[in-house]
Structures are given as C-alpha cells and as structure tokens.
Amino acid sequence: MKVCILSDFFIPDLQGGGERRYFELSRRLAKKGWEVDVLCMRVQGRPDEEKIDGVNVIRLGPRIKKPPKRTPLDFLRYVSSSLYWLMRHEYSIIDANSYIPFIPAFLGGLLTNTPVVATVHDVYGREWSGRYNPTVAGMLEFILVNIPFKRIITVSRSTRDILTSRYRVPSNRIKVIPTGVDLDYIDSVKAGPRKNNSLLYVGRLIRHKHLE
C-alpha cells in the first residue's frame, strides 16, 4: 500500500495536535510496510525532502519562515505544487488534513482515480476572527467540508454533530476515530510533587484555545 498525506505542516516543523496525530499514524504505517509520503509546506531551515522514522517527508510550494503563519499566496502555491505532485505519482489512497489541503487532494484524487479521505479535527465557524476574515473563512470552511470525499474522518463526536447539523454533511459520510495516546509513554513519566491551587495546561498558546 502506498499512501499520501497532505498537511500544511508536519513534525518537527510545527508541534500541533493534528501534526502529531499524522506523525504517529504515518510512522506506524511505515513500520507495517506501507510506503508513506507526506506533502507539506517548505519551511526555512529544513530540507525539501527527508525521511523521518521511515516516512518520506516532501516539502514543497512556499517557504514559510515562522509556521504556522501563512498568506493567501502561500496557500495558492501549496495547492498548485501538491496537485502537480499528485498528478505525477500513483497512490493507493490520499488523506488530507483540514482545510486547504482538501483542494489539491480532491482534485488529484479525481484526476488520478484515487480514493480520498479528509480529516477534520475541529470546525471554527465565526471563530476564524483574528486570523482571517471570518465571513470568507467560514464560507470556505462550509464549502470544503461538503466536498464529496470518499469519507470524512473526525476525532470527536462533537465535531461530527456540528458537521451534520450546522454544515449539513451526511452522517453516513463521517467516521469518528478518536486520536490515540501512547499509554506506555504516559505511564513512564514520573509525577512531581503536587501543588495546591495550581493549573496545568498542555497545548499551544493561541486564541481559539480559549485559555482565558
């Protein structure tokens, strides 16, 4: 089996939850004998191609200085570059991370007769405010999740429910697959002394995480 994953960024260029999920998934598939290619954006200081834990990481399109900051032109260059790649290579299946990678993945799959699945971690709606024009971004989000992919994978029932109720995506096209965790690794971490009146947050310090 040969799979192609499309994601704006990949480990170690950006340490986000979606990037970590794809990293853990792809390296496990590689260990099982699958050939895995990951198409992501080029990042300053990183090689255009390298193998990470058996995974072929191909960086193409724009060269980003400070991930995840991107411009509309960066998105366009990534879409055209990754679509061109897909037209020149054969895959058993294509998996696209939300959201911009949906475009080249769907077109590439359509033109090469390759099944495509789309992974949706979350939906933002009006919460696009502060990063992009919320009206335009919200409309684009609605259009992209309604592309007729072979299947939409989401990591939670709450996201599935929003996709079906607010975005009108047919429920039979959605499969909920929760993100796994490495229990052995978690159990190996030794806890420090407990402090009263303390709060621990694990995640990125960005607005839509609502830490306030």
Give tens-digit pLDDT for 157-179: 999 999 999 999 999 999 999 98
| pLDDT confidence tier of residue 67, bands split at 50, 70 and 90 | very high
How far apart CA 145 and CA 131 sit, in angstroms, is 19
- Over 70: is that where the pLDDT of 206 sits? no
**pLDDT in the model for residue 16:** 86
3-state secondary structure of 181: coil
How far apart CA 171 and CA 29 sit, in angstroms, is 27
- CB atoms inside a 10 Å sphere around CB 207: 11
- Over 60: is that where the pLDDT of 129 sits? no
- CB atoms inside a 10 Å sphere around CB 52: 15
- Over 90: is that where the pLDDT of 13 sits? yes
Span 74-91, mean pLDDT? 97
What Å distances lie between residue 155 and 22, 45, 123, 209, CA to CA?
Answer: 12, 32, 11, 17
CB 42 within 8 A of CB 61: yes
- Which pTM value belongs to this model? 0.86
- Over 90: is that where the pLDDT of 205 sits? no
DSSP 8-state secondary structure symbol assigned to residue 57: E
**Which residues are bridge partners to 39 per DSSP?**
6, 58
What Å distances lie between residue 37 and 58, 89, 199, CA to CA?
Answer: 7, 10, 39
Alpha helices in the chain (DSSP H): 17-31, 72-88, 102-112, 134-145, 157-165, 183-188
